[in-house]
């Protein structure tokens, strides 16, 4: 990457609810980390069943109220399906259709083992039942998975690595092929009825938007090796990462969108200002 490249960060909410204090922290941090570079807003609305235009409007209003400004035009993932399809087509030789439902996966995993089932950032580790099925066999209800072992072999690598400015500055976080297979497994690249997945869309869009620093919550740290593997397969640059702390409620629980008491609007309506919000999240 050119040494003179400006820092470009993004805040990438899904419009499935109102922004809360945790989002405010994430957005302000990404905004401040970009300065004097560029801060982008990306609306992650691939899940058409859960996303609502009114939430998208509320998000923009709340961010503007916080005093943030972002580059235009805003990128909406719902308008990017052709780019995701193209990426999926490039990965086609390393993908397979999977018809297993959660119950099938549970049954396949529990047969040989006792106790807790192995799980990773996307839930249960897929046992590979459908691996090897040709894409020509894909049914309308199938998901498309990446053959992760095949991907590592195709790249001729035995690990993926990335830098995290918040967690271990100056050092690479490394995940070996075996750790990836055991802890993540064959990830879904296209969800049922969606034509893409969070992982594929985020990788394609971070590259398309020229994001140089991905600032986001620690809850996504375990997904980052997936993104790095996809960047390598698609020949895209790996940005720097910054996985920040999560804002918790008084009981130590992560804030959720359904937790309306901590919605930014609630604070706004009760007279708080943007500086109060910054103080509340420790900025
Ligand atoms: N859309 C994701 C969320 O709402 C964030 C994705 C990302 O920052 O990579 O949590």
Which tens digits make up the pLDDT trace of 154-163? 999 999 999 9
Ligand 1 binding pocket, CB closer than 6 Å: 12-14, 44, 202, 216, 220
Residues 140-180: pLDDT tens digits?
999 999 999 999 999 999 999 999 999 989 999 999 999 99
User: How many helices and strands in the chain, by DSSP H and E?
Assistant: 10, 12
Nearest protein Cα to ligand 1, atom 2: 13
Per-residue confidence at 281, pLDDT binned at 50, 70, 90? very high
Per-residue confidence at 130, pLDDT binned at 50, 70, 90? very high
pLDDT mean across residues, the chain: 94
Q: Are 18 and 265 in contact (CB under 8 A)?
A: yes
For residue 12, the CA-to-ligand 1 centroid distance in Å is 5
Nearest protein Cα to ligand 1, atom 3: 13
- Residue 37 CB coordination number (10 Å): 13
Mean pLDDT in residue range 106-131: 90
Task: Report the distance separating Cα 32 and Cα 110, nearest Å.
Answer: 47
Share of the chain above pLDDT 90, in %: 89
Task: Report the distance separating Cα 130 and Cα 67, nearest Å.
Answer: 49
Task: Report the distance separating Cα 63 and Cα 66, nearest Å.
Answer: 5
Task: Report the distance separating Cα 227 and Cα 261, nearest Å.
Answer: 33
Mean pLDDT in residue range 225-254: 93
- Residue 186 CB coordination number (10 Å): 25
- Helix 81-90 × helix 198-208 angle, to 10°: 100
Per-residue confidence at 3, pLDDT binned at 50, 70, 90? low
For residue 51, the CA-to-ligand 1 centroid distance in Å is 13
Per-residue confidence at 2, pLDDT binned at 50, 70, 90? very low
Mean pLDDT in residue range 208-213: 98
For residue 234, the CA-to-ligand 1 centroid distance in Å is 20
| pLDDT score, position 126 | 98
| pLDDT score, position 113 | 66
Residues 36-51: pLDDT tens digits?
999 999 999 999 999 9
Ligand 1 atom with least separation from CA of 13 = 4
Mean pLDDT in residue range 90-97: 98
Q: What DSSP designation does 220 have? A: G
| pLDDT score, position 254 | 76
Per-residue confidence at 262, pLDDT binned at 50, 70, 90? confident
Per-residue confidence at 258, pLDDT binned at 50, 70, 90? low
Nearest to 226 by CA among 150, 169, 144, 160: 160
Q: Is 190 helix (H, G, I), strand (E, B) or coil?
A: strand
What's phi and psi for 66, nearest 5 deg?
Answer: -70, -10
Superfamily holding 8-280: HUPs (3.40.50.620)
Whether residue 1 has pLDDT greater than 60: no
What is this structure's pTM?
Answer: 0.95
- Return the bridge partners of 213, or none: 240
Nearest protein Cα to ligand 1, atom 4: 13
Nearest protein Cα to ligand 1, atom 7: 12
Nearest to 198 by CA among 59, 70, 3, 16: 16
Per-residue confidence at 5, pLDDT binned at 50, 70, 90? confident
For residue 249, the CA-to-ligand 1 centroid distance in Å is 20
Ligand 1 atom with least separation from CA of 223 = 9
Mean pLDDT in residue range 104-123: 87
| pLDDT score, position 112 | 66
């Amino acid at each position: 990457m050119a040494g003179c490249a400006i820092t470009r960060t993004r805040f990438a909410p899904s419009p499935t609810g109102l922004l809360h204090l945790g989002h405010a922290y994430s957005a302000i941090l990404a905004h401040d980390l970009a300065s004097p570079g560029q801060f982008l807003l990306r609306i992650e609305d691939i899940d058409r069943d859960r996303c609502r235009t009114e939430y998208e409007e509320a998000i923009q209003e709340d961010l503007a109220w916080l005093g943030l400004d972002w580059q235009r035009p805003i990128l909406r993932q719902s308008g990017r399906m052709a780019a995701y399809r193209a990426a999926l087509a490039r990965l086609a030789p390393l993908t397979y259709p999977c018809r297993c439902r959660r119950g099938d996966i549970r049954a396949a995993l529990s047969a040989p083992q006792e106790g807790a089932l192995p799980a990773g950032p996307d839930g249960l580790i897929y046992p590979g039942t459908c691996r090897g099925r040709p894409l020509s066999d894909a049914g309308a209800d199938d998901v498309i998975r990446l053959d992760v072992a095949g991907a590592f072999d195709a790249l001729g690598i035995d690990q993926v690595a990335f830098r995290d400015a918040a967690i271990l500055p100056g050092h690479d976080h490394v995940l070996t092929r075996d750790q990836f297979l055991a802890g993540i497994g064959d990830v879904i690249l296209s969800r049922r009825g969606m034509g893409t997945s969070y992982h594929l869309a985020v990788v394609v869009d971070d590259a398309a938007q020229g994001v140089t620093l991905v600032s986001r919550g620690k809850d996504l740290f375990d997904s980052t090796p997936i993104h790095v593997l996809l960047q390598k397969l698609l020949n895209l640059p790996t940005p720097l990462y910054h996985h920040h702390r999560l804002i918790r409620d008084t009981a130590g629980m992560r804030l959720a969108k359904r937790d309306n008491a901590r919605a930014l609007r609630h604070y706004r309506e009760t007279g708080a200002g943007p500086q109060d919000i910054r103080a509340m999240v420790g900025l």
